[in-house]
Structure 1
Amino acid sequence: MSRTTRTRRPVLRAVAVAAVLVTAAAGVAAVTRTEPGPPRYITDDQGRALFLHGFNTSGSTKADPDSLPWITEEDVQHEYDTMGTNFVRLLIQWSAVEPEPGEYDEAYLDAVAERVDWYGERGYHVLLDMHQDLYGADVSPDRHSGNGAPAWATRTDGLPVAEQDMWELVYLEPGTMRAFDHFWNTTGDHPELMEHYADAWGRVAERFADDPAVIGYDLMNEPFGGSLQGPAFERGPLAELYRRCTERIRGADTDTWIFVEGQAVGVNWGTPSALPRLDDPRPGEPRIVYAPHAYPLPMDLGRSYTGEGRGQVDTAIALWEENVRVTAERLGAPVVLGEFGLDMSGDGAEAYVAKMLDVTDSMATGRAYWSNDHDGWGPWADEDLTPGPLAEVMDRAYPRAVAGDPLDVGYDPGGTGGGAGGSGGSDSPESPQLTVRFKAVEGVTGPTEVYLPEGEFPDGGEARVAASTGGEAEASVEWDAERRVLAVELASPAPGTEYELRVRPDRP
């Protein structure tokens, strides 16, 4: 397997029998549902709820000698023109940030900042993700597996790390396990490693604190506890790492959102996380985001999203959704789906992606597909960035910002009558329709903004807003044809009142 891609194969039959996974699942019953709290959302400086829709950029970072993704500025523009995305989970590497203990590579941070600017100039929100898989490249002498940690922070005690066709199995190699145990200081021998990691985040925050494009910091990709698994890991060293990183970040940046993940084993499949509520020392409301990943177990076991397999995957997704809600309520945090994806050549792949977009719409969460590479998983059919099947699914009407508390988002693509050249007008039942229900909130200003794809909304959109008190609500509507964004602003929003915005294709 190339380390430049995120290939998932039906390997977990073998992994599931390992004692480490049995231990990881042991804490599921210990997690109980809390009483639902008020919904929380990632908000902008006008108080509007943000809907984040985009990609991870990119798997190529893992093997690149400069730890940078393959993209150019023109590629960022091409992505927007093709799919209208507004979010990127941009991979960075600890090994590149801190190549030697306490020494930070400013040239690398400058290169990352250049790429952040490419996105920021096009209205994207950028999440910086400190990525790791299999701890780091130096867990094996020939660097055949892993990315993330620098060589000086990799302590395997000489234990072996054999290459595996099934990449996840490298997590169970003795040297990989020992490297994680030393990092989490389970061994008691290296308490300095977590400190260095937290300090590295502090330096990243210093560099990007004043960059308006950077919406957040994802503290660690898919944490793995080594020999310590389940609630003992999440409530112990993982929570402690998050506290230290948050403290360092808040020393430089009090505004940006901090994204946390539970352990990957189990949580990615839909089992509960045991992460405790985390304090945020910033003034005002906390800005902690729960950012789980979703790789339903039936799909990891090789089932396609067709026939009986589709029903099994849908059941796993429902379990994932419920347990994500439970964890988010406990954390008092909004949710962003940090990763989901699959090989787009498989049967039912497009339907699966559409399902996950519907689920995240209904949960009012953001989402980042893995990934934007041209490797069979991403939106491109070739290295010339010809749009593939995924691009059509991702080029979807969605709200970018909602002027209030979102209650429900629904997108009905309709029939062929709603597309370009079709016979259906804006009132045709076959027309595509985006529906956004929200409650007006005191102090929230600005319009609700929705992205409308050219294929289904060739001439923009016709917007209607109804109030729960009865009748249509007066609103101004502006269409930005270049960005394909429709802005709808209520004339006199009444706090506490519910509104329903419906957008259908405008008549030619």
Structure 2
Amino acid sequence: MRRTGKRGLSTAVLAVLVLVAGGVAATATRHEPGPTRYLTDDQGRALFLHGLNTSGSAKGAPDRLPWITEDDVQAEYDAMGTNVVRFLIQWQAVEPEEGVYDEEYLDAVAERVEWYADRGYHVLIDMHQDLYGRYTSPEEHSGNGAPEWATHNDGLRVESREMWELVYLEPGVVRAFDHFWGTTGEHPGLMDAYADAWGHVAERFSGHPAVLGYDLMNEPFGGSLQGADFEAGPLAELYRRSIARVREADQDTWIFVEGQAVGVNWGLPSFLPHLDDPREGDPRIVYAPHMYALPMDLGQPYEGEARRQVDASVDLWSRNVRVVGERLEAPVVLGEFGLDMSGAGAPEFVARMLEETESMAAGRVYWSNDHDGWGPWEDRAEGEELTPGPLAHVMNRAYPRAVAGRPREWGTDGASGALTVRYEESAEVSGATELYLPEDAFGDGPGEGFGLTVDTPAGDGGWTSRWDAERRVLHVTVTVAEDGDETVLTVVPD
């Protein structure tokens, strides 16, 4: 979600949203978070995702594609060592006419997927929407997502607003969502058409080694139906239909689901029910909520009393996310978080969220890779190279890209800067543990910028390591191990 225009909600609209969120909170049942779950790759290694949404620019671009070039993808890796991209696509671009899929658009998406694949990225394909779609108003002034043929607002008003989120409350937008979710009963085929579009996308990318998964809908909004009635009702039904279509074409990717944006983005619990995965083998469902702390969404900086309120919101979000993850029996990935990096305390807030997701063993994907003040780049003139800004410097931190076992704990020592990863060996996992180590903290490599210790029952002769200087990734392979052995990797800057 890209926040633009005037900051802060009007009192009346805020009251509506608080009532909605309050209804969610009032019906919440207190549960405790369950065991940590992980995304895994085809070698069984636990994956930690660290990257950017790419990008908000695609929403308004005539071709529905982000601004990036292949060189820009390389610049992103060089600046931040990211390993995942949440790549935005739109239903209106995939299926501009009912039942007709735009293969040229998907070709262009596939070309960009290859740019990331060539640099070792995981690609999460996100079917993005905001405000249902641009065709809710004759002027097409707001929104992105749904095609014109799937937009029915019965001629109701949709006014442009300085703060774009308020357009969600316009009668025509609410009615368009109500028709989509089947609340009105007048256009019953829309959810099936959306699920079919996902089936087509999955068929196109099935088997691609870089495509990690599919995010079924960005920030769902229920129209006149909110809270548990929406999430456990039509939203869950859309997910079931879409999962079924995806699995007809693709048995291997992970499927990412989100709760409703209102309330959940601020830290309140989602009421998504458990979703079955019809694939052969263990389910591959991921819970991928967003986080936009309410005080900051209302324009407050990350300092003083507002900072304490934001931290409390983050703590609430973290706990509720883990509870919902347990209900879904799913690993957690933070699909969006972000803010204007020129604001007071902005880098500190990003660091806070990175630390929080690390404590949860959750992946994180920042919003967004753009030139709008939120992104990682300084302003540049046309033709100039990208220059990393404050966000890039915060995002460029050590982390385990993949762990060849069952992770138990990992983190960076604030005083020494040492990265420590502790895990159990598993007979079901192969390959190396991969650690990304940024140059500013870890220098030029082993012996020239950092030292490595490996504590494993096999001793010094039971492991090997390899340094990939180009990608700044340390590969550590324990060659002699038994199932259940504990291994601790520690990388210390010189």
TM-score by length of 1: 0.92
Say yes or no: does 1:466 pair with 2:455. Answer: yes
Instruction: Tell me the distance in 2 between the aligned counterparts of 1:25 and 1:470.
Output: 55
Instruction: Tell me the distance in 1 between the aligned counterparts of 2:98 and 2:123.
Output: 27
Could you tell me which residue of structure 2 aligns to residue 332 of structure 1? 329
Give the % identical residues.
Answer: 66
Instruction: Tell me the distance in 1 between the aligned counterparts of 2:243 and 2:233.
Output: 16
Could you tell me which residue of structure 2 aligns to residue 421 of structure 1? none
Could you tell me which residue of structure 1 aligns to residue 94 of structure 2? 97
AA matched with 1:476: T
Q: Tell me how far 1:37 sits from its aligned partner.
A: 4.3
Q: Give every structure 1 segment of 4 or more consecutive aligned residues whose post-TM-superposition deviation is greater than 3 Å.
A: 12-21, 33-38, 469-474
Say yes or no: does 1:478 pair with 2:446. Answer: no
Say yes or no: does 1:112 pair with 2:112. Answer: no
Q: Tell me how far 1:488 sits from its aligned partner.
A: 1.1
Could you tell me which residue of structure 1 aligns to residue 150 of structure 2? 153
Report if the CA contact (8 A) 2:286-2:333 is conserved: yes
Could you tell me which residue of structure 1 aligns to residue 392 of structure 2? 391
Cα deviation 1:202-246 (Å, max 9, x = unaligned): 000000002111000000000000000000000000000000000
Structure 1 unpaired stretches of 5+: 415-430
Cα distance change on mapping 1:413 and 1:77 into 2, 3 Å: farther
Could you tell me which residue of structure 2 aligns to residue 419 of structure 1? none
Could you tell me which residue of structure 2 aligns to residue 449 of structure 1? 434
Corresponding residue to 1:210 among 200, 207, 212: 207
Instruction: Tell me the distance in 2 between the aligned counterparts of 1:504 and 1:16.
Output: 51
Instruction: Tell me the distance in 2 between the aligned counterparts of 1:169 and 1:228.
Output: 17
Instruction: Tell me the distance in 2 between the aligned counterparts of 1:226 and 1:308.
Output: 34
Could you tell me which residue of structure 2 aligns to residue 46 of structure 1? 43
Corresponding residue to 1:138 among 135, 140, 145: 135
Report if the CA contact (8 A) 1:25-1:230 is conserved: no
Instruction: Tell me the distance in 2 between the aligned counterparts of 1:492 and 1:15.
Output: 64
AA matched with 1:113: A
Cα distance change on mapping 1:244 and 1:282 into 2, 3 Å: same
Instruction: Tell me the distance in 2 between the aligned counterparts of 1:20 and 1:382.
Output: 35
Q: How does 1:52-71 map to 2 (within 5 A)?
A: 52-71=49-68
Say yes or no: does 1:241 pair with 2:226. Answer: no
Cα distance change on mapping 1:413 and 1:155 into 2, 3 Å: same
Could you tell me which residue of structure 2 aligns to residue 499 of structure 1? 487
Could you tell me which residue of structure 1 aligns to residue 251 of structure 2? 254
Could you tell me which residue of structure 2 aligns to residue 403 of structure 1? 404
Q: Tell me how far 1:438 sits from its aligned partner.
A: 1.6
Cα deviation 1:386-433 (Å, max 9, x = unaligned): 11111111111110001112222212354xxxxxxxxxxxxxxxx421
Report if the CA contact (8 A) 1:465-1:502 is conserved: yes
Say yes or no: does 1:163 pair with 2:148. Answer: no
Could you tell me which residue of structure 1 aligns to residue 312 of structure 2? 315
Could you tell me which residue of structure 1 aligns to residue 420 of structure 2? 435
Cα deviation 1:305-362 (Å, max 9, x = unaligned): 1122211111110000000000000000000100000000001111110111111111
Instruction: Tell me the distance in 2 between the aligned counterparts of 1:470 and 1:12.
Output: 59
AA matched with 1:434: L
Q: Tell me how far 1:15 sits from its aligned partner.
A: 6.0
AA matched with 1:386: T
Corresponding residue to 1:173 among 170, 177, 189: 170
Instruction: Tell me the distance in 1 between the aligned counterparts of 2:258 and 2:5.
Output: 20
Secondary structure in 1 matching 2:419: strand
Report if the CA contact (8 A) 1:466-1:473 is conserved: no
Q: How does 1:308-387 map to 2 (within 5 A)?
A: 308-383=305-380, 384=384, 385-387=386-388
Secondary structure in 1 matching 2:53: strand
Instruction: Tell me the distance in 2 between the aligned counterparts of 1:455 and 1:19.
Output: 47
Report if the CA contact (8 A) 1:297-1:316 is conserved: yes
Could you tell me which residue of structure 2 aligns to residue 123 of structure 1? 120
Report if the CA contact (8 A) 1:257-1:289 is conserved: yes
TM-score by length of 2: 0.95
Secondary structure in 1 matching 2:263: helix
Q: Tell me how far 1:445 sits from its aligned partner.
A: 1.1
Instruction: Tell me the distance in 2 between the aligned counterparts of 1:65 and 1:479.
Output: 43
Secondary structure in 2 matching 1:145: coil
